[in-house]
Structure 1
Amino acid sequence: MSEASPADPAGVFGALETHLRARRDSGAKLLVPYVTGGYKGWQRAVEAAAAAGADAIEIGVPFSDPVMDGPVIQQASTAALADGATPASVLEEARELDTGVPHAVMTYYNLCHHQGHERFASALLDAGVCAAILPDLPYVEAGPWLEAAAETGLEAILLAAPTTPEHRLADLCGASRGFVYAVGLLGVTGERSALARTATEIAARCLAVTDRPVLTGVGIGSPSQAVEACDVSDGVIIGSAVVRTLMSDGPEAVGELVASYRTALDHG
C-alpha cells in the first residue's frame, strides 16, 4: 500500500477551487452548507441556500451504512432511501439545479468502488457536480481514486483529521482538490454546544502547509461558532443544522438559516 500523491499539475484549479479562491482572496469567509439529496424538498433547499449566500453546496448521496454521519443526517438519509432515493436519482435531480455556485457530492466509497472510479467521476460531472468527498477512503489508499478523478476533471476533496500525523499532512493537503476539509473533531457530524479546540488546531495545521482553501466542518452548531472557527480557517461547512432545519421547518427555512450564517461571517 503506497501513499497517494497529487495527480494534476500545481496551479491548475477546477471550478470549485477557482471559485473558492476568488471568494477567499476578496476577503470573504467561505460558507458551504450540506443538504441531504433525495430528502423531500432538497432541491428547493439547495436553491434557497445558494440564494442566501452560500459559496458552494455539498449534496449528500444517502447511504445505508454511513461512517461519518451523525443522527440528524442519518435520519434524513434513511427517510430519503425509504422514499426511493438512489444515487442515480439524486444525480438526476442535481442535474436540474441552476444555483450559480459549484456543487460537490459527499457519499461513501462503496458507491464509487461499485461503479468504478472513472464511471463514478463521470456520472458526477454529467450531473453538474464538480467535486466529491469520500470520507471513508483513507488518504493512504486514495491514489487510484485521485488519479481517476483528475483524469476526468473531477475535484477530489480530502479530509484532514485531528489525528493526521505531521509527516503526512502536507502531502494530503497537496493532493486534495477544491479545498481541504479540516475535520473539527473526532466523531460524527452533529451540532455541539461549543466549538471543539481541535477545530481550530487542525485548521491552523493545514493552513501552515497549504495555500489551498481550508474549510472546517463537523461540530459547528451556530453562527457564532462558525465565526470562531473562521478566526483560523478560510470557511466552514454546515451540515446537521441545515438538515435539521430542512426536516423540521422546510426548504425556505434553510435559506433563512444560511442567511444567518452568512451575515455572521460577513460581520465577523
Structure 2
Amino acid sequence: MPALQTRIDRCFARLRAEGSKAFVAYIMGGDPDPATSLAVMKGLPDAGVDIIELGMPFTDPMADGPTIQLAGQRALDAGMTMDKVLDMVRAFRQSDDRTPIVLMGYYNPIYARGVDRFLADAKAAGIDGLIVVDLPPEEDEELCLPAQAAGLNFIRLATPTTDAKRLPRVLQNTSGFVYYVSITGITGAATAQAANVAPEVARIKAATDLPVIVGFGINTPNAAHDIAAIADGCVVGSAIVKDIGAGKPVADVLANVSALAAGAHRA
C-alpha cells in the first residue's frame, strides 16, 4: 500500500499536534436540494467540523437507517446524481482547499461509471477518501487498491462483530482512519455508550497506528464528548440530517453542528 499524504492525513497530524480530537460531520449530498446542501456544507468548517463525510444518494442504501434513507430519497427526488455530488465538491473547493472530504456510498453507481473514471473524477473534484460499505476486504482489488493508487484514502468500517480473526483482514488495506461502528444494526437506531465502546477502540488501536473514529448513535454534545474522549474523534450524521430533514434554516443546522463539534473538541 503506497504511503499517502492526503488532506485526511494532514488533518490528523494537525489535530495530534494540537492535542485535539476530530469531529466528523455527515450530510447527504443534495438533501433537501442542491443549493441548501451546498450552503450547509460550506458552513461546516466554521462550525468546527474537521472532516466532512458526504453521502452519495443511492436507491438501495442497505446500511442506513430511516433518517439517512429519507435524506437520500429527498436528494434523489431533487435530481441529485453522482455528477452533481462531485459538482458540490468542486464548488466547496473553490473556497476551502483544506477540509478533508470523504465520499460515503455504495459500489453500484461507482461500478456503473467505471472504477478508473470514477476515481479520476473524484480525485479531480477534491475528494480525499472513500467509504464504500458494501465492498468487503475480499474484494479490495475492485476499488480499494485502485483508490489508494490514485491517491485516495480507503476507509474501512469495523463493528462490534469484527472479531480478532477478522480484524487484521479489515485493517490490511485501510488508510486515513478506521471508522468504528459503535452499535450493531443501522444508522440512527440506538445510542452509543462510551463504556461499551472504549474496550473495542482499545482493541483496534492495539492492531493499527491509524486513528480510530467512532460513529453511529451519537446525537448530543455530551455524547460527542464522551465518545471522542475514548477514541480519536467521533462522527455525527443522523442528528444533523434530522435537522435538515425538518426544514430548519441553514443557520440553525450549523448552530447545532457547532454545539456537537464543541462537545467533541472538549474531549
Distance 1:246 1:124 in 2: 25
SS in 1 for 2:229: coil
Distance 2:250 2:140 in 1: 35
| CA positional deviation for 1:164 | 1.3
Per-residue CA shift, 1:149-189, capped at 9, x if unaligned? 12211111111111112133234334211111111111111
Distance 1:117 1:105 in 2: 14
Per-residue CA shift, 1:45-80, capped at 9, x if unaligned? 112211111111011010110011111111111011
The TM-score normalised by the length of structure 1 is 0.90
| Contact 2:191 2:216 survives alignment (8 Å) | no
User: What corresponds to 1:86 in structure 2?
Assistant: 81
- Number of aligned pairs? 260
Match for 2:23: what amino acid?
L
User: What corresponds to 2:2 in structure 1?
Assistant: 8
| Contact 2:225 2:265 survives alignment (8 Å) | no
| Contact 2:119 2:147 survives alignment (8 Å) | yes
- Counterparts of residues 55-204 of structure 1 (less than 5 Å): 55-97=50-92, 98-99=95-96, 100-190=98-188, 192-193=190-191, 195=193, 198-204=196-202
Change (3 A) 1:228 1:14: same
**Is 12-21 or 61-70 further displaced after alignment?**
12-21
Change (3 A) 1:171 1:193: closer
Change (3 A) 1:210 1:194: closer
Per-residue CA shift, 1:172-231, capped at 9, x if unaligned? 334211111111111111163553755334322211111211100111121111112123
Distance 1:101 1:194 in 2: 26
**Is 247-256 or 156-165 further displaced after alignment?**
247-256
User: What corresponds to 1:4 in structure 2?
Assistant: none
1:44 and 2:39 matched:
yes
**Is 102-111 or 144-153 further displaced after alignment?**
144-153
Q: Report the RMSD for the aligned CA atoms in angstroms.
A: 1.8
| CA positional deviation for 1:13 | 3.1
> Which segments of 5 or more consecutive residues in structure 2 lack a partner in the other structure?
none
SS in 2 for 1:166: coil
**Is 122-131 or 170-179 further displaced after alignment?**
170-179
